[in-house]
Amino acid sequence: MAMRKRENVVFPNAAGIDVGGSSHWVAVPAGAAEEPVREFGVMTDDLQVLADWLLECDVDIVAIESTGVYWIPLFEILEQRGLQVWLVDARQMKYVPGRKSDVQDCQWLQRLMGYGLLRPAREICQLRAVARLRETLLSEQASWVQRMQKALVQMNIQLTEVLTDVMGMGGQAIIRDIVAGERNPEALARHRHRQVKASREEVVRALTGNWRDEHLFVLGQALAMFDDIGRHLAECDAKLQRLLGERARHAINVGPVPRVDSKARVAFDMRQRLAAWAGVDLTRINGLNVTAVMKILTEIGPDLSRFANVKHFCSWLGLCPGTKISGGKVLSAGTKRSANRIRRC
């Protein structure tokens, strides 16, 4: 009978932590402490005690498993105390032998250091937090634009039929006048830009509707929310510009500078800062615009050395085809479902 070979210990001083919303279960090597498994609270002083205990046990690397954002405070405190921390894919925990429990999870984590997902460096976390907030604000602002369009349609103000962008310069001017109390279509049509294809008469017809107080109230509230989110977006953009400016390490020429008052100038400035950080203008790749490049860089940074090669990177993105083969027949070759933000961009 063949004997199973004993597995080589790669990280002899490793610890495993099962992160929860109300407590954390921690496991260290069997000979490192009298109680190799302990439970800690989630308050800041509890996390400091947890870090002290790990250092007393001569732990130098920690694997943590968590769903949600409960792991972030613990990760940052352990990292500040000089420990190397890996965030482990929670899907691997379904292979825990026997009945699943928090105690077994943290003990199993100690043995599964090979299943690690490296988290970006601290400087990437700062940019990523601001960039994700900006993405959320843009989504919320778009939802309030839809509410404004709905209120206009309910009053039979067919602004979308004569304007390509309702929230463009002319469209916003018309909406703001309506909220301010203007009801005369002729007066509202004066905001028609000269480049609008629809004639003035068509714009007047589109602005002739059935004014209802309840819909006007919704329109005003939606416009106020749109403006408020816009102010927060401006603060996020300023924060991103400052953080990117601090990380500029290269002098990259991305082309001629647009006019200050043009729409292209904002995108150009962001493109210039991203190129100065990454060392190359990634927007020159077909299919990658400034938004996509910003999402990629703020999620993983410009350093891809943590990936052995392009195949490892594609596997991390979840873009590699499946290899479910039985009896020489391919059962499935589809890519796995993934919530990876870079994959979705």
Instruction: Name the nearest CA neighbour of 175 among 193, 157, 161.
Output: 157
Identify which of 38, 92, 88 has the alpha carbon closest to the alpha carbon of residue 62: 88
Is 340's pLDDT higher than 80?
no
CA distances from residue 185 to 77, 100, 173, 286 in whole angstroms, order as listed: 61, 68, 13, 44
Opening angle at CA 96, ends 17 and 67, nearest 5: 45
Q: Give residue for tokens 């929310």.
A: 225
Model pLDDT for residues 90-149, shown as the tens digit of each residue: 555 444 444 455 555 566 565 554 333 334 445 577 888 899 999 999 999 999 999 999
- What pLDDT, on the 0 to 100 scale, is given for residue 110? 55
Whole-model pTM: value is: 0.71
Q: Read off the pLDDT of each residue in 287-304 and give the average, rounded to a whole number.
A: 88
Q: Which residue has the higher pLDDT, 241 or 9?
A: 241
Segment 309-324, tens digit of pLDDT: 888 888 888 888 877 7
Report the range of poorest mean pLDDT among 79-88, 163-172, 177-186, 295-304: 79-88
Spell 273-305 as b/e; 16+ CB within 10 A means b. bbbbbbeebbbeeeeeebbebbbbbbbbbbeee
Question: What is the separation of C-alpha 135 from the centre of its chain, rounded to a whole number of angstroms?
Answer: 7
pLDDT digit string (tens) for 12-66?
Answer: 788 888 888 888 888 888 878 888 889 999 899 999 999 999 999 988 888 887 6
Q: What is the pLDDT of residues 255-264, one digit of tens each?
A: 888 888 777 8
pLDDT of amino acid 114: 35
pLDDT value at residue 2: 41
Does residue 80 surpass a pLDDT of 50?
yes
Mean of the per-residue pLDDT values of the chain: 83
AA identity, residue 250? H
Name the most confidently modeled range: 9-23, 65-79, 165-179, 255-269. Answer: 165-179
User: Stretch 300-314: mean pLDDT, rounded?
Assistant: 85
pLDDT of residue 186: 93
Q: What angle do CA 103, 106, 111 make, to 5 degrees?
A: 125
- Is residue 82 pLDDT above 70, yes or no? yes
